[in-house]
A and B are shown apart, each in its own frame.
Chain A
Amino acid sequence: MHSEAHTSTSQRKPVHRHAGAKNHLITFAVSIILTAIAFIAVASESVDRNTLVPLLLILAFVQALFQLYVWMHMDQKGHGFAALGMFSGTLVALVTIIAFVLWVWW
Chain B
Amino acid sequence: MATHHAVNGTLPPEPEKATLEGRNKVLGFWLFLGGECVLFGSLFATFIALRDQVNGGPTASELFQMPVVALATFILLTSSLTSVLGILAMHRNKVGQMQAWFAITVLLGLAFLGLEIYEFVEYYHHGHMLTSSAFGSAFYTLVGFHGGHVLFGVLWIALLIAQSFKKGLTLVTAPKFYVASLYWHFVDLVWVFIFTVVYLMGMVE
Q: A: which residues have CB within 8 A of B?
A: 1-3, 5-6, 9, 12, 14-16, 18, 21, 24-25, 27-28, 31-32, 35, 38-39, 42-43, 49, 52-53, 56-57, 59-60, 63-64, 67-68, 71-72, 78-79, 81-82, 84-86, 88-90, 92-94, 96-97, 99-101, 104-105
Query: B33 an interface residue at 8 Å Cβ cutoff?
Result: yes
Q: Are B48 and A39 in contact (CB under 8 A)?
A: no
Query: B173 an interface residue at 8 Å Cβ cutoff?
Result: no
Instruction: Decide: A60 near B182, CB < 8 A? Known: A89-B33, A90-B37.
Output: no
Q: Which of A2, A5, A60 is close to B196, meaning CB atoms less than 8 Å apart?
A: A60
Q: Which of A53, A85, A96 is close to B201, meaning CB atoms less than 8 Å apart?
A: A53
Shortest Cβ distance from residue B90 to the other chain A in the assembled complex, whole angstroms: 12
How many chain B residues have a CB neighbour from A under 8 Å? 57
Q: Enumerate chain B residues within 8 angstroms of A59, measured Cβ to Cβ.
A: 196
| Interface SS, B side | helix
Can you list 5 contacts pairing A with B, beta carbon distance less than 8 Å?
A: A5-B21, A6-B2, A35-B74, A39-B200, A49-B205
Query: Bound complex: CA of A97 vs CA of B45, how far in Å?
Result: 4
Among B23-45, those with CB < 8 Å from A are 27, 30-31, 33-38, 40-42, 44-45
Query: B149 an interface residue at 8 Å Cβ cutoff?
Result: no
Q: Enumerate chain B residues within 8 angstroms of A97, measured Cβ to Cβ.
A: 41, 44-45, 48
Q: Which of A16, A56, A63 is close to B200, meaning CB atoms less than 8 Å apart?
A: A56
Q: Are A63 and B81 in contact (CB under 8 A)?
A: no
